[in-house]
Amino acid sequence: MKNAFLFLLALVLAVPLIPFALFGEVDGMKWIEGTSGIVMFMYGAALLASDILLPLPSSLIAVFLGAKLGLASGALSVFLGLMAGSLIGYAMGWTVGRKVMDRMISKQSQEVYTRMESRLSYWALALCRSVPLLAEASVIAAGVARLEVRKTVPMLIMSNLSLAILYSAFGYYGNQQSSPWLLFAGGILVPGCGVLVLLLIFGKSFFRRPTPDHV
């Protein structure tokens, strides 16, 4: 149990950092740093929206936008990007169905989310939004399952807006205090806290490999 917890937490915290370890600073973030105003706002939102399809360090990009655009503008850019990505994933699951789910999301992530959804219904969407891998699995799975639009969209709005404010706040105050550690922490603490919330809700069952009895 302890080893499983440490492995999962390390994996979640490492996911946003993998592109930096392999390639250094992401080219998209280098480019965005050389822009200003509306261009940075729109490009940052576009990067976050494309995270549903591309392996981007979305949490670090979101913190970066808060640092460069300010608290309010950064939060709005992050929210629009996260919301667009969520709706793209939901629409893909709804229209293309199981094929896109199987190709884009691992079986284990699918099973974990399905088990969560069976217990928490639409609240599972909100809890998964900050967790790498499960964030993508949740919105695509919601589309595949044809969850009601009138319930799914408000849940996504609530969760994405909360995340946008958190990420932007880390970036803004980290930049104000000239603290690279606060900027860095914002990119890993929010996903890490998401995992801890899931652990508090599910306990040991979060690590149990799903079976037909548990899904």
Say how far residue 25 (Cα) sits from the centre of its chain.
20
**Residue 73 structural domain:** 2-206
d(CA 43, CA 202): 37
Chain segment 130-156, per-residue pLDDT in tens: 887 788 888 988 888 888 999 999 999
Rounded CA-CA distance 75/50 in Å is: 17
Judge contact between 92 and 116, C-beta under 8 A: no
Taking a C-beta distance cutoff of 8 angstroms, is the pair 113, 138 a contact?
yes
Does residue 105 belong to any structural domain of this protein? Answer: yes
Please give the pLDDT value at position 212. 44
Q: What is the pLDDT of residue 201?
A: 66
Residue 214 belongs to a domain:
no
User: Which residues of the chain fall short of a pLDDT of 70?
Assistant: 1-36, 119-120, 184, 187, 195-215
CA distances, 140 to each of 11, 56, 125, 157, 182 (Å):
21, 17, 10, 16, 32
pLDDT for 78 equals 96
Question: Residue 14: inside a domain, yes or no?
Answer: yes
Judge whether 215 lies within some domain.
Answer: no
Q: Please tell me the total count of domains within the chain.
A: 1
